[in-house]
């Protein structure tokens, strides 16, 4: 390539000039300096709509003691702790984090799942009424596009655990009306819908008879089916029932974590692609790196015993200092490169059209990789993908186009069957 053509192509990517796509795609990102590649990655993150399939901010607000009656967590400014707030989202280019309406499995037994879901939805809505210049609700890809143009961060919602449906199909229409646009069918325990990847009871042997009706009704209403957290049998049953593509909102590749059913096996990823679906990669250390996963289990066991022996709790200053030092010395965090390995593996299996970001920020604690500690750091991952040969178009697909394709297909099916 002539130097002048190369420079023009590089400037077109860095500055967003609308040069012919074939020129911009001739840039050899791997040959660039780390500084230039990072500048391009940051520019792509800022100028491209970026969706994340799973951010646990609503439950973080609940755990922090924030209720509709009390002062809400001010995520319009930089917060102490946590992985998400407005300034860091803007720095990282995150435009549409799916707010996880997370329902712990214990609510299946003690009751109150529907009420908790309602409270978390209201809490999410309150962010947009408290700071309407910064946040906006989003119920469709069109809403996200409009908020993006207005400079607002969209807050689409997905419900993690179908327990709030209880045993009433009509509750699906209720939650669709409340703004829920995907439902993770199970969480850590089997429920009325199907079996969980984390449970060992295999209550239904996959999707229950009620679960079959739930999937059909979700298709009819236009709610995306999320197969993160379900057992393998439940996953395959869902694909037999659904008439539209499904998503895995925050899962990674089991190839790197053998035996970890929470991640997706190669055959499952291939079946998901045949269905037209998308797997959105979880950034949690235990999801991306087997060594860290095994080390994390050992570290956790040691710390539980150490706290008991020393009659301390995790909140004690002495304990916090010890925990920090012990973790750093005994189980180093995985790297951004480990996360990118999952992208490479899935692309090798099914191509680029079935990938997205599903960080699980605010949901995986202190296990996040070095360089991906919060929502300001997506450019680090994008830069790594560029270094590995991913194109600008590839990055756009991962950021939003793949998920929008599924979402719009689900919307269209519902409209056609209304």
pLDDT in tens, 312-325: 988 899 998 998 88
Per the domain annotation, does 306 fall within a domain?
no
Count of structural domains, the chain = 1
Per the domain annotation, does 92 fall within a domain?
yes
Per the domain annotation, does 257 fall within a domain?
yes
Domain that holds residue 66: 48-289+334-416
Going by pLDDT thresholds of 50, 70 and 90, the confidence category of residue 68 is low
Per the domain annotation, does 25 fall within a domain?
no
- CA dist., res. 208 & res. 152, Å (int): 40
Phi, psi dihedral angles at 167 (to 5 degrees):
-115, 30
Report, as an integer, the average pLDDT of 44-73: 85
Angle of helix 317-330 versus helix 290-309 axis, rounded to 10 = 150
- CA dist., res. 19 & res. 350, Å (int): 30
Report, as an integer, the average pLDDT of 215-230: 98
Q: What is the pLDDT of residue 324?
A: 82
Q: What is the pLDDT of residue 25?
A: 55
Per the domain annotation, does 1 fall within a domain?
no
Angle of helix 34-47 versus helix 378-387 axis, rounded to 10 = 120
Q: Residue 51: is its pLDDT beyond 80?
A: yes
Per the domain annotation, does 82 fall within a domain?
yes
pLDDT in tens, 229-287: 999 999 999 999 999 999 999 999 999 999 999 999 999 999 999 999 999 999 999 99
Per the domain annotation, does 320 fall within a domain?
no
Beta strands, E only, 48-207: 51-55, 96-102, 135-137, 153-155, 157-160, 180-184
3-state secondary structure 331-392: CCCCEHHHHHHHHHHHHHHHCHHHEEECCCECCCHHHCCECCCCHHHHHHHHHHHHHCCCCH
Per the domain annotation, does 409 fall within a domain?
yes
CATH number reported for the structural domain that contains residue 404 in this entry = 3.20.20.140
Report, as an integer, the average pLDDT of 28-40: 95
Q: What is the pLDDT of residue 314?
A: 85
How would you classify the pairing of strands 51-55 and 96-102?
Answer: parallel
């Amino acid at each position: 390539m002539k130097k002048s053509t190369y420079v023009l192509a590089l400037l077109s990517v860095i500055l967003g000039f609308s040069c012919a796509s074939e020129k911009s795609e001739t840039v050899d990102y791997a040959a660039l300096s780390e500084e230039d590649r990072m500048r391009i990655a940051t520019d792509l993150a800022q100028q491209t709509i970026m969706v994340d399939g799973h951010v646990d901010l609503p439950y973080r607000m609940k755990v922090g003691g924030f209720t509709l009656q009390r002062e809400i967590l001010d995520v319009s400014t930089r917060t102490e702790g946590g992985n998400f707030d407005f300034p860091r989202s803007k720095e990282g280019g995150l435009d549409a984090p799916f707010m996880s309406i997370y329902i712990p499995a214990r609510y299946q037994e003690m009751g109150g799942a529907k009420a908790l879901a309602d409270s978390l939805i209201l809490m999410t809505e309150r962010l947009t009424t408290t700071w309407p210049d910064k946040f906006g609700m989003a119920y469709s890809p069109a809403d996200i596009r409009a908020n993006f143009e207005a400079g607002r961060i969209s807050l689409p919602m997905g419900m993690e655990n179908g327990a709030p449906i209880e045993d009433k199909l009509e509750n699906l229409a209720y939650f669709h009306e409340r703004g829920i646009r995907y439902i993770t069918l199970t969480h850590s325990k089997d429920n009325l819908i199907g079996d969980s990847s984390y449970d060992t009871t295999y209550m239904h042997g996959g999707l229950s008879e009620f679960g079959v009706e739930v999937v059909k009704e979700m298709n009819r209403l236009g709610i995306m089916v999320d197969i993160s957290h379900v057992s393998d049998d439940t996953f395959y049953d869902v694909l037999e029932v659904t008439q539209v593509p499904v998503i895995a909102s925050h899962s990674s590749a089991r190839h790197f974590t053998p035996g970890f059913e929470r991640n997706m096996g190669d055959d499952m990823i291939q079946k998901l692609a045949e269905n037209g679906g998308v797997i959105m990669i979880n950034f949690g250390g235990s999801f991306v790196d087997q060594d860290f996963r095994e080390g994390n289990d050992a570290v956790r066991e040691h710390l539980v015993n150490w706290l008991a022996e020393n009659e301390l709790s995790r909140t004690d200053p002495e304990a916090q200092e010890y925990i920090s030092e012990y973790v750093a010395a005994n189980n180093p965090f995985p790297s951004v490169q480990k996360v990118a390995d999952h992208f490479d593996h899935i692309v090798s299996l099914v191509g680029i059209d079935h990938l997205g970001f599903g960080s699980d920020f605010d949901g995986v604690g202190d296990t996040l990789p070095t360089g991906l500690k919060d929502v300001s750091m997506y450019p680090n991952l994008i830069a790594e993908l560029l270094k590995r040969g991913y194109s600008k178009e590839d990055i756009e697909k991962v950021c939003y186009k793949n998920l929008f394709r599924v979402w719009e297909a689900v919307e269209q099916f519902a409209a056609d069957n209304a």
